[in-house]
Amino acid sequence: MRRRRNREKRITKILGVALGLSGVILIIHTVPLYVWYAALGASVLLLIILLYIS
């Protein structure tokens, strides 16, 4: 029973990563480039702030 649960978690994780990557690719191709760079800069700033706080 335990092995099955671990396998199900791994499959769910792989599916989640695949769906996330396909969503990111779709967003990159439909959103203008300057919006993409603004979002990337905002996420990097947020990451720096979160790392600084903790």
Which uninterrupted H or E stretch holds 5?
Answer: helix 2-30
Please determine, for residue 47, whether its predicted confidence score (pLDDT) is greater than 60.
Answer: yes
pLDDT in the model for residue 24:
80
Question: Rounded CA gap, 54 and 52, in Å?
Answer: 6
Query: Residue 23: which domain range?
Result: 2-53
Exposed e or buried b per residue across 34-49, where buried means at least 16 C-beta atoms within 10 angstroms of its C-beta: eeeeeeeeeeeeeeee
0.75 surpassed by pTM? no
Segment 1-40, tens digit of pLDDT: 556 667 777 888 888 888 888 888 777 777 788 887 888 8
Domain tally for the chain?
Answer: 1
Q: Encoding tokens for residue 50?
A: 């979160």
Q: Encoding tokens for residue 46?
A: 């947020």
pLDDT in the model for residue 13:
84
